[in-house]
Amino acid sequence: MTISPPVRPAGRGSVPARQPVLLLVATAILFLTVCLWLWPPTSLQYDLRVYVVSAQAFLDGQDIYTAHLAYPKDMVLGFTYPPFAAVVFAPVAMLGTAGGRALMTLVNASALLVIGMVTVRALRPRWSRWRVAAIGLAVGAAGVALEPVRSTFDLGQVNLVLTALLLVDLLGHLPPRFRGVLVGVATGIKLTPGIFIVYLLVTRRYREAATAAAATIGTMLAGALVLPDASRQFWGHHLFDPSRPGATHFISNQAWRGVFARINGGIDGIAPYWLLAVAVTLVLGFLAVRRAYEQGYVLESVLLTSLVGVLVSPISWTGHWVWALPITAVLVYRALQARSSALGGLALCWLVATGIGLPWHTPYLGDKEYTHHGLQLLAGNSYTLCAFATIGMALYGTRRRTA
């Protein structure tokens, strides 16, 4: 399914169109400037430091997966992405510390605006391009009010960039023969977007699924050609090391595995319960995805897939939940459109949980996550609960429409 072509705004010639263009460009530049002020080149951006250290190791011909050991303990974590990602981050490493931070902030801010615009375009396909751009800029800029987005800026993460790539591809903004390429590239950088190849299969977009799979394999081959030793290490060992990304029970991990680890007091013995939750989420989630897609809710089907992905992944830090921005925007829009108190309540839950970063308002660090009880359990796992509730409501809503 493709997006309807935008309606050309009224006006004589190209002169009247210059004013909205200049205004929108000025607004976008202002937003980028504000982001640079909020997250200047002197900010820590801890995860970006991990990327840069590994990318610099690649440029220097060193091992990208042990480069962090040259730094004091806990100052730089080990690189957890495929070798292709280190190649992608090489230009950032060449810019140096300050330049790399500034570039990452600008790229994240730009991705945020793209997310806002493609979300609005999917919801209002008949709006003029200027209206979509204006409202989309506002939606994207509002994203900084959400903790996952702020966390991505704070850490210099790639979550917003990957989300923008996926939405642009999956919502039909590429020429038909190239659709699926960006899904494959995103998967090659960080494996978790691979859930969207499954999405393409579930929604019977087989050609796009094949293209995405081929693009993913292409990134793997590129990594193997440039970094053969690192590729053997990653695909043969690091990929299967659950401890490398960090502690599963840490409050930031809002995936099912993190929830069960906190409730259980550790990861020992949680495998049966976690795998059952993963299986149920996959079945119910993709059932909701298929129904939503068949009923014409393409954007919603993509967003439901993103929730399945963050829930079933072993690690989904709060920064990975930047999908909360388009999800909240869609829930607010649909609630107003249908005058639905249920959708409005769910939107409010998302806004509260991700706006204030509710999990971070519970005890954490020093294994304090194991002491949660009562309301702390709800708050500490609020992202997970919002996601599963959204899948449940989507199932109920699509079932009623099918009936």
The pLDDT tens digits of the residues spanning 348-390 come to: 999 999 999 999 999 999 999 999 999 999 999 999 999 999 9
The pLDDT tens digits of the residues spanning 80-131 come to: 999 999 999 999 999 988 999 999 999 999 999 999 999 999 999 999 999 9
The pLDDT tens digits of the residues spanning 24-41 come to: 999 999 999 999 999 999
The pLDDT tens digits of the residues spanning 299-323 come to: 999 999 999 999 999 999 999 999 9
Domain tally, the chain: 1
For position 17, what pLDDT does the model report? 60
- Residue 299 forms part of a structural domain: yes
- Residue 402 forms part of a structural domain: yes
- Residue 37 forms part of a structural domain: no
Query: Residue 191 and residue 81: Cα distance in Å, rounded?
Result: 8
pLDDT mean across residues, the chain: 93
- Residue 394 forms part of a structural domain: yes
For position 403, what pLDDT does the model report? 52
Residues above pLDDT 90, as percent of the chain: 86
- Residue 369 forms part of a structural domain: yes
For position 402, what pLDDT does the model report? 61
DSSP secondary structure, 45-105, as one string = -HHHHHHHHHHHHHHTT--TTTGGGGS-TTTSPPP-S-HHHHHHTHHHHHTHHHHHHHHHH
- Residue 379 forms part of a structural domain: yes
- Residue 191 forms part of a structural domain: no
Instruction: Count the neighbouring beta carbons within 10 Å of the beta carbon of residue 329.
Output: 26
- Residue 324 forms part of a structural domain: yes
Task: Provide the whole-model pTM.
Answer: 0.93
What is the extent of the structural domain holding 337? Answer: 243-403
**Terminus-to-terminus CA distance in the chain, angstroms?**
23
**Which pLDDT band, with edges at 50, 70 and 90, does 16 fall under?**
low
Question: For residue 238, is pLDDT > 90?
Answer: no
Least confident of 13-27, 163-177, 201-215, 216-230: 13-27
